[in-house]
Amino acid sequence: MKVENILQKETVQEFENLLNNARNIVIVSHVNPDGDAVGSILALQNIFQNKGLNSICILPNIFPHYLNFLKNSENIIIAEKNQLQAQQTIDNADVLILCDASSFKRTGEILEPLCKSSKAKKILIDHHINPATEEFDLAFATPYVSSTSELSFLLFEKIWGNILDKAIAECIYTGICTDTGSFSYSSNFENTYIIVSKLLKAGVDTEQLHYEIYNTYSERRVRLLGFSLCNRMVVNQKYGYAYIYLSKEDLQQFDYQEGDTEGIVNYTLSMTGINVGALLTEREGKIRMSLRSQTNFDVNRFASTYFSGGGHIKASGATSYDSMENTIKKMEKSLQKEICS
Ligand code: 5GP
Ligand code: MN
Q: How confident is the model at residue 2 (pLDDT cuts 50, 70, 90)?
A: confident
Whether the predicted pLDDT of 4 surpasses 90: no
Q: Average pLDDT, stretch 114-131?
A: 97
Q: Average pLDDT, stretch 160-182?
A: 97
Residue 58: per-residue pLDDT: 99
Helix 299-307 vs helix 324-340: angle between axes, to the nearest 10 degrees? 130
Sign, Cα dihedral of 333, 335, 338, 339: negative
Query: Parallel, antiparallel, or unpaired for β 77-78 and 95-99?
Result: unpaired
Rounded distance between C-alpha atoms, residue 171 and residue 38, angstroms: 8
Check if the beta carbon of residue 59 is closer than 8 Å to that of residue 92.
no
Ligand 1 binding pocket mutation candidate from 126, 316, 331 (most atoms within 8 A of CB): 316
Q: What's the mean pLDDT when you consider all of the chain? A: 97
Residue 226: per-residue pLDDT: 98
Distance of CA 21 to the CA centre of its chain: 29
Residue 48: per-residue pLDDT: 98
Ligand 1 binding site (Cβ under 6 Å of any ligand atom):
30, 34, 106, 290, 309-312, 315-319
- What is the distance in A from the centroid of ligand 2 to the CA of 256? 23
Q: How confident is the model at residue 340 (pLDDT cuts 50, 70, 90)?
A: confident
pLDDT 10s digits, 209-251: 999 999 999 999 999 999 999 999 999 999 999 999 999 999 9
Whether the predicted pLDDT of 79 surpasses 90: yes
Check if the beta carbon of residue 296 is closer than 8 Å to that of residue 312.
no
Check if the beta carbon of residue 15 is closer than 8 Å to that of residue 159.
yes
Residue 141: per-residue pLDDT: 97
Whether the predicted pLDDT of 341 surpasses 90: no
Residue 298: per-residue pLDDT: 97
Structure pTM? Answer: 0.95
- What is the distance in A from the centroid of ligand 2 to the CA of 124? 13
- What is the distance in A from the centroid of ligand 1 to the CA of 27? 19
